[in-house]
């Protein structure tokens, strides 16, 4: 201490106004990153696109998909979509001849064309793709997609 400095003039540092940043644990960050890549998140986005496409169709048409794999083309009307976390998506539908189909794919393999297919019974109400959803799930999807969409949990 110099000249007139005394311990009475000494003021300890105060950290009461300093806020420390909140850090997530590395494990929690990894878990959140993995969850954002789950099939359920892919499903939500997929349902959003399908619902959006469906609203552009008239009563005589419904959403179909065309898949091209190994040189073969498959086209079917989509009736339901499901998922199994972490990475599987299932499409349930019907071929033009009425045969039931189920396609199970890894989310990294999914590449298809949404298209309009002629409905077999246009006099009946249009089928909603997917399953009945509870209000909370629909709100979660709306928040995730930023618009009206639905998902199966």
Q: For the CA atoms of 36, 131, 78, 106, what is the dihedral angle to 10 degrees?
A: 30
Q: Which domain holds residue 66?
A: 27-145
Residue 114's Cβ-side half-sphere holds a number of Cα atoms within 13 Å equal to: 15
The pLDDT assigned to 54 comes to 92
Residue closest to 62 by CA, chosen among 46, 79, 82, 81? 79
The pLDDT assigned to 140 comes to 52
Asked if residue 126 belongs to a domain, the reply is: yes
Q: How far apart are CA 65 and CA 117, in angstroms?
A: 9
Q: What is the pLDDT along the chain (153 residues), one digit of tens a residue?
A: 555 556 667 666 666 777 767 777 878 887 777 777 899 999 988 989 999 999 999 999 999 999 877 678 889 999 999 999 999 999 999 999 999 999 999 998 888 899 999 998 889 888 777 643 433 444 554 455 554 333 333
The pLDDT assigned to 98 comes to 92
pTM as predicted: 0.63
Asked if residue 11 belongs to a domain, the reply is: no
Instruction: Tokens for 88, please give them.
Output: 């599987």
Asked if residue 70 belongs to a domain, the reply is: yes
Asked if residue 108 belongs to a domain, the reply is: yes
Asked if residue 15 belongs to a domain, the reply is: no
Number of domains in the chain: 1
Asked if residue 97 belongs to a domain, the reply is: yes
Asked if residue 96 belongs to a domain, the reply is: yes
The pLDDT assigned to 125 comes to 87
Asked if residue 106 belongs to a domain, the reply is: yes
Letter string b/e over residues 49-75, b meaning 16 or more CB atoms within 10 A of that residue's CB: ebbeebeeeeeebbbbbebeeeeeeeb
């Amino acid at each position: 201490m110099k000249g007139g400095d005394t311990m009475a003039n000494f003021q300890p540092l105060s950290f009461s106004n300093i806020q420390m940043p909140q850090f997530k644990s590395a494990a929690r960050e990894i878990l959140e990153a993995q969850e954002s890549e789950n099939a359920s998140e892919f499903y939500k986005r997929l349902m959003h696109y399908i619902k959006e496409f469906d609203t552009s169709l008239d009563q005589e048409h419904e959403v179909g998909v065309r898949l091209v794999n190994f040189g073969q083309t498959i086209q079917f009307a989509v009736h339901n979509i499901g998922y199994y976390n972490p990475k599987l998506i299932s499409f349930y539908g019907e071929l033009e001849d009425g045969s039931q189909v189920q396609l199970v794919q890894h989310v990294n393999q999914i590449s298809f064309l949404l298209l309009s297919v002629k409905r077999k019974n246009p006099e009946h109400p249009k089928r909603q793709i997917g399953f009945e959803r509870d209000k909370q799930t629909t709100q979660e999807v709306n928040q995730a997609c930023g618009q009206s969409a639905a998902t199966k949990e």
